[in-house]
């Protein structure tokens, strides 16, 4: 009797194991089926264009746009150096590097500007009663109802020499001649802040909204002045939001096209414009591809450095 | 500045409590605080005056919404009073912001800073006071030792258990040696066993530091076991202030009697007053003789603690009734008796054997001295 019991229990456990295996297989299959639309989209419209860009950057430009299928590193060399037309020697070409560094500078400036403007805004919204916050968030997202191009044109009308600001200042007698803002770096800077401010406010709000107000009271109770409550408690706790906001402003700002094109007048180039020109009037697709990839590489390295740094910091906490 | 006082300079243990000559540690006078606007205004504090003596363990006791936490927040400075004064050792502080007041708070939620270590949490107040690093390290070590958490100095708060977090919160609030420590239901989130341990720990810390503790709780047992004195609050008013024994044995108010422990409340009518005695007719028709403390109304309430009453065979006592429930609770048994007029009366006996069963007719007895007259 005992042995039969054992047999039965053994086969029962085998059946159970088999059932579990089948169930696990079914789950894996279901997971892939559910993921496939997203994977197909990412593959088709994300990875493939990127691969084409990568391949093109190592080819020679065709005379009327497009590429010639001949391997060449010229596109990358051209970015940092220029070839003398007489003796073929290479010397450093600062013009593209300066566009690159200007882009980084402007975008960084806009990020800091957006942070300074966005933090009080986000704090204001987060400190409103819960039922009013959605209204204020709605106001933040209101600009997205209109196309960025239209909004940038509107901006152009405001800051140009005959615009609202300058006519206003002159009619008040504050200035005699219009202050030149349009087609300067200042215009691009203002435009970038304006365009990307909501991307700063929203993640900041998300982290400030979670902030436990009792922590602020606790700090205040422990002899911290308002300023030190901000620097010792609020800012460190809002750090994830600050980082997310900065990334969301800095990266699109770096590749901005419309803002420098319209407000910079096409004279003050940023990388986005440089790339656009290569695919348009300059008909140098490989160079455009190379510039796009260099931009991407810089952003990726910066992000990786940050992730490594914060992982280390998180580890030391652990 | 008293807050910069070093822990070493603190008066150690054994200090005369409730010394009448001393200036009260906290004296609030005529505090009024309302929230909201005209149409739906809530009065959180309605003319509250209390004196809390130095080195006292003083408890504000009451149900949620009675105003006890608001009173604590007014002392801490998180709220400003509509009118009234808050004196700390005789000095008016009601106009000062929290970071200028030498009082510290232990929050119900602990409110530990999640981004810094246990040691940095404890040292936070000292850093804000501008102590130099060596002194802070020293003081933090002492505090860690005092709350027995020296091993966990470098942990993050979220790596600690509830009881450990509680002790860090205590150490953080005690580190700057405040004149008064405010505790806002600090034990409410702990389980029963841990709560009992922390009650003892809190008393020990109070003895050791000699700091005045103002403790807010809705748990009457906690209040009775820990406090030097208790203020029972209800609906924004202080109903009675006294030592735990006074509050328990001589509640002056029906609310206090009901709130502190179990009590039987019987409606009664004054039959006559003579020689400073009240002769009160209570439900069921028996008479009780009570001291006349000048109560005006002829209809009043008489309260008797369950453990002060006894049961006897039917027909031999003052009140008669029928046993309708027997509840065993470990160290004793509660016998619920339905009196002849329908009022429920609970009698507490020792042990588990009562020799009674449901439906038995019994008599309830209690001495005149066990009965208290309550103001409604």
Substitution target in B115, B152, B157, B159 with the highest count of A β-carbons within 10 Å is B115
Tell me what pLDDT residue A162 has. 87
Interchain CB contact of B8 with A (< 8 Å):
no
Asked if A218 and B111 come within 8 Å (Cβ–Cβ), the reply is yes
Hey, where are the domains in chain B?
2-102+176-249, 262-374
**Fold of the CATH domain B2-102+176-249:** Rossmann fold (3.40.50)
Q: How far apart are CA B94 and CA B86, in angstroms?
A: 5
Helix %, strand %, coil % of chain A (to 5): 75, 5, 20
Asked if pLDDT for residue B11 goes beyond 50, the answer is no
CATH architecture of B262-374: Beta Barrel (2.40)
Eight-class DSSP state of A44: I
Substitution target in A223, A227, A314 with the highest count of B β-carbons within 10 Å is A223
Interchain CB contact of B2 with A (< 8 Å):
no
pLDDT 10s per residue in chain A (318 long)? 445 555 666 677 888 888 899 889 999 999 999 999 999 999 999 999 999 999 999 999 988 878 889 999 989 998 888 877 777 778 888 889 999 999 999 999 999 999 999 999 999 999 999 999 999 999 998 988 889 999 999 999 998 888 888 888 888 888 888 888 888 889 999 999 999 999 999 999 999 999 998 999 999 999 999 999 999 999 999 999 999 999 999 999 998 999 999 998 877 788 999 999 999 888 899 999 999 999 999 889 988 988 888 777 765 543
The answer to whether the beta carbons of residues B317 and B288 sit under 8 Å apart is no
CB < 8 Å to A217, chain B: 78, 98, 105, 107, 111
The answer to whether the beta carbons of residues B373 and B300 sit under 8 Å apart is yes
CB < 8 Å to A230, chain B: none
Distance from CA of A205 to the nearest CA of B (A): 19
Tell me what pLDDT residue B40 has. 83
Substitution target in B70, B72, B124 with the highest count of A β-carbons within 10 Å is B124
Asked if pLDDT for residue B14 goes beyond 50, the answer is no
Tell me what pLDDT residue A317 has. 47
Task: Determine the distance from the C-alpha atom of residue B21 to the mean position of all C-alpha atoms in its chain, rounded to a whole number.
Answer: 25
The answer to whether the beta carbons of residues B363 and B318 sit under 8 Å apart is yes
Tell which B residues from 125 to 184 touch A, by Cβ distance under 8 Å.
Answer: 125, 128-129, 156, 172-173, 176
CB < 8 Å to A314, chain B: none
Distance from CA of A11 to the nearest CA of B (A): 45
Q: How large a percentage of chain B has pLDDT more than 90?
A: 49
Of residues A185 and B354, more confidently modeled: A185
Of residues B334 and B21, more confidently modeled: B334
The answer to whether the beta carbons of residues B279 and B272 sit under 8 Å apart is yes
Asked if A222 and B124 come within 8 Å (Cβ–Cβ), the reply is yes
Asked if B99 and A225 come within 8 Å (Cβ–Cβ), the reply is yes
Tell me what pLDDT residue B317 has. 66
- Write b or e for each residue in B13-39: b if 16 or more Cβ atoms lie within 10 A of its Cβ, otherwise e: eeeeeeeeebebbbbbbebebbeeeee
Asked if B113 and A219 come within 8 Å (Cβ–Cβ), the reply is yes
Q: How far apart are CA B77 and CA B130, in angstroms?
A: 21
Of residues B320 and A229, more confidently modeled: A229
Of residues A71 and B189, more confidently modeled: A71
Asked if A219 and B76 come within 8 Å (Cβ–Cβ), the reply is no
Distance from CA of B125 to the nearest CA of A (A): 4
Tell me what pLDDT residue A4 has. 54
For range B130-136, the mean pLDDT? 95
Q: How far apart are CA B265 and CA B245, in angstroms?
A: 19
Tell me what pLDDT residue A6 has. 57
Asked if pLDDT for residue B18 goes beyond 50, the answer is no
Distance from CA of A212 to the nearest CA of B (A): 8
pLDDT, mean over chain B: 86
Q: Are strands B103-106 and B180-184 parallel, antiparallel or unpaired?
A: parallel
Q: How large a percentage of chain B has pLDDT more than 70?
A: 92
Of B64, B93, B84, which Cα lies nearest the Cα of B236?
Answer: B64
3-state secondary structure of B131: coil
Asked if pLDDT for residue B17 goes beyond 70, the answer is no
Tell me what pLDDT residue A309 has. 83
Tell me what pLDDT residue B254 has. 86
CATH class of A102-269: mainly alpha
Distance from CA of A122 to the nearest CA of B (A): 21
CB < 8 Å to A243, chain B: none
Distance from CA of B97 to the nearest CA of A (A): 8
Angstrom CA distances, A299 to A46, A77, A304, stand at 17, 20, 9
Q: How far apart are CA B31 and CA B81, in angstroms?
A: 6
ipTM over 0.85: no
What chain A residue is nearest to B105 in terms of C-alpha separation?
Answer: A221
CB < 8 Å to B112, chain A: 218
B338 forms bridges with which residues in the sheet? B322, B344
Asked if pLDDT for residue B7 goes beyond 50, the answer is no
Of B201, B207, B199, which Cα lies nearest the Cα of B224?
Answer: B199
Q: How far apart are CA A136 and CA A126, in angstroms?
A: 9
């Amino acid at each position: 009797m005992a042995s039969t019991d054992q047999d039965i229990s053994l086969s029962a456990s085998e059946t159970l194991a088999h059932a579990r295996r089948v169930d696990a297989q079914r789950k894996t299959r279901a997971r892939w089926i559910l993921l496939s639309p997203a994977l197909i989209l990412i593959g088709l419209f994300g990875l493939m264009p990127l691969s084409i860009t990568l391949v093109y950057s190592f080819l020679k430009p065709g005379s009327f746009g497009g590429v010639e299928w001949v391997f060449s590193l010229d596109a990358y060399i051209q970015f940092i150096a220029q070839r003398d037309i007489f003796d073929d020697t290479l010397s450093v070409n600062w013009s593209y590097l300066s566009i690159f560094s200007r882009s980084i500078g402007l975008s960084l400036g806009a990020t800091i500007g957006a942070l300074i403007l966005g933090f009080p805004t986000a704090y204001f919204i987060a400190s409103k009663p819960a039922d009013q916050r959605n209204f204020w968030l709605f106001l933040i997202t209101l600009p997205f109802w209109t196309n960025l191009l239209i909004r940038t044109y509107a901006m152009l009308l405001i800051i140009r020499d005959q615009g609202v600001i300058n006519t206003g200042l002159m009619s008040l007698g504050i200035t005699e001649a219009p202050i030149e803002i349009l087609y300067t770096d200042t215009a691009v800077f203002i435009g970038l802040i304006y365009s990307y401010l909501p991307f700063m406010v929203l993640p900041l709000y998300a982290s400030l909204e979670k902030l436990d107000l009792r922590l602020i009271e606790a700090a205040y109770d422990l002899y911290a002045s308002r300023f030190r409550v901000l620097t010792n408690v609020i800012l460190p706790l809002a750090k994830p939001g600050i980082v997310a906001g900065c990334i969301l402003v800095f990266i699109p700002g770096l590749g901005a096209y419309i803002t420098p094109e319209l407000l910079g007048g096409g004279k003050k180039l940023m990388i986005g414009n440089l790339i656009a020109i290569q695919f348009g009037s300059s008909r140098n697709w490989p160079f455009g591809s190379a510039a796009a990839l260099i931009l991407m590489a810089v952003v990726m390295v910066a992000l990786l450095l940050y992730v490594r740094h914060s992982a280390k910091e998180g580890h030391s906490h652990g | 500045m008293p807050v910069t006082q070093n822990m070493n300079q603190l008066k150690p243990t054994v200090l005369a409590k409730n010394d009448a000559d001393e200036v009260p540690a906290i004296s609030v006078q005529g505090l009024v605080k309302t929230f909201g606007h005209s149409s739906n205004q809530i009065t959180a504090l309605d003319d509250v005056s209390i004196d809390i003596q130095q080195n006292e363990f003083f408890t504000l006791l009451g149900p949620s919404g009675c105003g006890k936490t608001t009173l604590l927040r007014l002392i801490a400075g998180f709220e400003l009073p509509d009118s009234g004064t808050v004196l700390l050792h005789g000095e008016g502080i009601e106009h000062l912001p929290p970071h200028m007041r030498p009082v510290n708070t232990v929050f119900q939620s602990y409110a530990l800073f999640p981004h810094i270590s246990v040691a940095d949490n404890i040292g936070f107040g000292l850093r804000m006071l501008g102590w130099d690093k060596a002194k802070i390290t020293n003081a933090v070590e002492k505090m860690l030792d005092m709350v027995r958490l020296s091993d966990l100095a470098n942990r993050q708060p979220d790596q600690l258990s509830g009881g450990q977090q509680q002790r860090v919160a205590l150490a953080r609030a005690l580190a700057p040696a405040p004149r008064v420590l405010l505790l806002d239901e600090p034990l409410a989130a702990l389980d029963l066993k841990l709560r009992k341990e922390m009650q003892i720990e809190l008393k020990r810390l109070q003895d050791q530091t000699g700091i005045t503790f103002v403790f807010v709780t809705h748990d009457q047992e906690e209040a009775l076991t820990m406090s030097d004195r208790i203020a029972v609050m209800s609906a924004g008013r202080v109903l009675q202030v006294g030592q735990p024994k006074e509050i328990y044995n001589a509640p002056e108010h029906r609310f206090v009697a009901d709130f502190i422990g179990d009590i039987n409340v019987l409606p009664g009518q004054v039959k006559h007053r003579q020689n400073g005695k009240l002769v009160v007719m209570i439900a069921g028709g028996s008479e009780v003789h009570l001291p006349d403390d000048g109560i005006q109304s002829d209809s009043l309430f008489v309260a008797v603690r369950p453990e002060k009453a006894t049961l006897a065979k039917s027909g031999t006592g003052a009140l008669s009734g029928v046993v309708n429930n027997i509840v065993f609770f470990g160290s004793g048994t509660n016998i619920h008796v339905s009196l002849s007029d329908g009022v429920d009366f609970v009698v507490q006996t020792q042990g588990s054997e009562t020799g009674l069963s449901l439906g038995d007719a019994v008599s309830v007895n209690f001495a005149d001295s066990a009965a208290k007259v309550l103001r409604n």
